[in-house]
Chain A
């Protein structure tokens, strides 16, 4: 019923060649899926706040947003459960800012790298009332977003907190960086503290406007 395929030597050669070409064309490199790597990911920002008058009075507050396997924010949203600061009124605190990339193994200390690149980075702090729209903690209702931070930050915020950046960069005219800061609290009040890291290559001038945002997070601050 089935006829045997009889091939001449030439035909056999060509059939073989065709088969080899076909196989060579079908390498399966595309079936190996490389993991997503985000080179400029920052997942976690930690504020370490120490009372200037008492070294044992120290606390940390952490804001975190992890990424999924495609490098996009996880569906559950940011973890703001630890993004709370409880400060005493009329007190001075020494603050350090830490940044981590938890998508890398081991976790990479982005803060140290930002220090290296201080000339093109700048932190901005904006105390805000709890009534103002803020990305983090996640707003409910309509999606409205805070405006760029004006420079200087207007005085008279309902949150009685004054932030001063201590460290400076190596630009010709040294400009503040913000990895180390001083928080000075006033009378009892509550609000948010917005922390923004700006990337300002060749354009850093001490103001917020130039460049683009690398990180934008908020902490709930209670002064009592």
Chain B
């Protein structure tokens, strides 16, 4: 062992030290510490540390801690490697119980790759397919909306209403069937229509994760399609003040985005460099974050899309306090957006829609402006969260999270009210207030057996004004769950059970009697999950999961009645609808080798009483003309599909990636395809890592890349219910280049990305404004990240 130390530390001047250690001295020293991301301060569980001198290797635990025991005194070399981060070698002098904390830098060579988190630390279930965007892969999406950021992930699509409004689609399901967890809290926004986008600023997150498949067990009803996790970095626990500035500019829409955060801490103990003497302030940490985003009219390949600008102003504040076994966190965020709606999408009747479909290009003014006129949406979403975690002896912990959310949505129609006395008021106003309380008991993850048990409760109140879309309502929900896991040598098994109760009372005026009625509905359901992950050896892992999930009908599905202008339809709810019940099975095979990495997964989601809008084959006559009527109905539906991705590194500088998403969505009851099912998609990429520039230290991790997106024509469309046939297949190219510029101690992370490189004109099946206009054309994006 000493010989090895001598050989490896040949360059070290203090060679003699190891030699003076008398042979036979007890080697009982230790080296320990914590490994974190240099920028975000979050722990890096699963990072591999290897001591060159002893040959022993160790993986960091879920909190990022590592330990080496029975070491002799002397110099050592510690090799640290983790996917997505630059490999580091540290020279460590071990004398006594040595502590060495390590900060790893994100590696530019991993830019743009979607990587699967090694330990899947954030998800309660390991047997479900999860993909995380973090580090440079997330950086590549900065400036885009949440749904747009996720569309690179296999099996994930986005359903759009023009260029400003997008919702994530997981395995063909969207809206109320995809749950979004914003900083650990169920996002409770207005989800009554496809043009109600999630009210979240992705700049708050350092990780965006997608859990594909039914995940109701931990998160409650509604997670039939999957879950999107928006996770901010953990608050820092080391002394000092740091932060980051992000700037984004895009040519299409002349979008500009600026986001910055500043964070700091007064560490609880001296080990983390905190010093003493600040009394109760020790243990305090904070983060202040803000984002501004603005864009003008987007442009298709050949013309501008009138009134498609957006304005966004968001901020968030986080405060943490750690003392003894109690960790408390307060979080407040405000999201404030104004979204222009494409002027050419206004329809007075189905005639206007048909005329728009018949035209090659819209008749709206072809010019650029940042000004947003009617029609537009203005949404303000505020979240307050208080979380307390109590660490118990033995590593178990109790967590309690209280959250209050308010969501105020104003939708402004195409013109001012005729009566000037009404003022510049919206056509529709909805205000939703939600309170949630979650309590969970989580056992230590280190033991073979681990479990989570919890209770969840929530209440919501909604108030509407002006037009009628949904009624006022009050909603109470409660749930209880237990999840268990056994981690074996090769096989990990997990299972869970959950009970949910939902009570919903609507307040609305009866059209015939004129009286206020209060229909009440109660739904309850039991859901379960069973799954496992088996390490097959040779880098192969097989995971399978069986899960059930359910969703009560939402208030719009029960009581909606009115014209949906941009959809040119009249939508009618049905108060006698029952709950939707999903049975989900998935399996995937992962391979992780030196040059090749990949995952192939298949899934089947059978949904009983799937709720959807069915054409009623009749029209309603309004003063503007006629609208086709759509009724909320139920039918049994089957979704099945395949996700595959492959990453191949023939040599260290070149990475080839390919991913395929296939989906088949069918209504069993009526033997017809479901509308708005994502078409099949094949993405390919190539990235050449140019390494570091010749002059040392100036440009590091430079790369260039090329990508291709092929979206097939959706041939599986319903026989009725759509106004226009599915658009043709399209093929878009993209290019990217980036580098990390070092100027003294300052780092500038710069990248240039081009999407729709050749400015192709195309329409996407899942963009509901494909009836009115082509999709956006070429977009060149410049991104700058400056950590400090």
Contact = CB atoms under 8 A, between A and B. Distances in A.
Contacts of A203: 363-365
Most-contacted residue by chain A among B347, B348, B626 (CB, 10 A): B348
B623 A216 contact: yes
A34 B622 contact: no
B420 A65 contact: no
Contacts, number: 171
Contact of A34 (B464, B562, B623): B464
B597 interface: no
A197 to B, nearest CB: 9
Given A40-B427, A72-B561, A201-B415, A209 B355 contact: yes
Interface in B608-661: 618-626
B721 to A, nearest CB: 16
A84 B419 CA distance: 29
A77 B621 contact: yes
Interface string A38-81: 11111100000000000000000000010011111100011000
B467 A38 contact: yes
A43 B624 CA distance: 10
A214 B349 CA distance: 9
B393 interface: no
Residue from B343, B419, B422, B619 whose CB has the most chain A CB atoms within 10 Å? B419
A73 B620 CA distance: 8
Interface stretch (A87-95, A141-149, A155-163): A141-149
A25 B460 CA distance: 10
A42 B623 contact: yes
B297 to A, nearest CB: 12
Contacts of B518: 31
Interface residues of A, number: 56
A69 B364 contact: no
Interface in A164-222: 198-199, 201-203, 209-217
B2 to A, nearest CB: 64
Contacts of B562: 70-72
Contacts of B373: 201
A120 B620 CA distance: 27
B350 A43 contact: no
Interface string B461-488: 1111111100111100000000000000
Contacts of A110: 418
Contacts of B563: 72
A104 interface: yes
Nearest to B345: A212
B623 A215 contact: yes
B519 interface: no
A69 B466 CA distance: 11
Contacts of A33: 471-472, 507-509, 516
B417 A138 contact: no
A163 B420 CA distance: 31
A32 B12 CA distance: 79
Nearest to A213: B348
Nearest to B464: A34
A211 B343 CA distance: 9
A217 B459 CA distance: 46
Contacts of A42: 418, 623
B684 interface: no
Given A39-B418, A143-B626, A212-B414, A201 B343 contact: yes
Interface string B507-546: 1111100101010000000000000000000000000000
Contact of A199 (B348, B417, B463, B511): B348
A45 to B, nearest CB: 8
B347 A30 contact: no
Interface centre among B364, B562, B618, B625 (most CB of A within 10 A): B625
A71 B563 CA distance: 10
A36 interface: yes
A135 B625 contact: yes
A104 B421 CA distance: 11
Contact of A101 (B419, B461, B507, B510): B419
A30 B464 CA distance: 8
A72 B459 CA distance: 30
Contacts of A209: 355, 363
Contacts of B427: 38-40
Contacts of A34: 463-466
B350 A145 contact: yes
A193 B363 CA distance: 27
Interface string B342-361: 01001111111001000000
Contact of B346 (A70, A114, A117, A212): A212
B77 interface: no
B514 A69 contact: yes
Contacts of A217: 623
B602 interface: no
A39 B620 contact: no
Contacts of B7: none
A37 interface: yes
B365 A69 contact: no
B306 interface: yes
A199 B625 contact: no
Interface string B373-410: 11000000000000000000000000000000000000
A115 B464 CA distance: 32
Given A30-B463, A72-B562, A199 B415 contact: yes
A30 B461 contact: yes
Contact of B355 (A25, A41, A148, A199): A148
B467 A65 contact: no
A37 to B, nearest CB: 5
B363 A113 contact: no
B306 A145 contact: no
B413 interface: yes
Nearest to A43: B623
B467 A37 contact: yes
B348 A216 contact: yes
Contact of B461 (A29, A114, A199): A29
Contacts of B420: 113
Q: Which of B468, B511, B562 has the most CB of A within 10 A?
A: B468
Q: Quick one: which of A29, A65, A147, A201 has the most chain B CB within 10 A?
A: A201
A133 to B, nearest CB: 11
B365 A202 contact: yes
Nearest to B462: A30
B425 interface: yes
Contact of A212 (B352, B618, B622): B352
A87 B772 CA distance: 41
Nearest to B560: A70
Contacts of A138: 621
Given A213-B625, A217-B623, 5 more contacts: A25-B459, A37-B466, A39-B422, A199-B348, A213-B351
Interface of A: 25, 27, 29-43, 65, 68-73, 77-78, 101, 104, 108, 110, 113-114, 117, 120, 135-136, 138, 143, 145-148, 198-199, 201-203, 209-217
12 contacts: A29-B461, A30-B507, A32-B472, A34-B463, A42-B418, A69-B511, A136-B621, A143-B618, A201-B374, A213-B349, A213-B351, A214-B623
Q: Which 8 A-B pairs have the closest CB atoms?
A: A213-B348, A39-B417, A210-B363, A212-B348, A70-B468, A30-B472, A212-B346, A36-B468
Interface of B: 306, 343, 346-352, 355, 363-365, 373-374, 413-420, 422, 425, 427, 435, 459, 461-468, 471-474, 507-511, 514, 516, 518, 561-563, 618-626
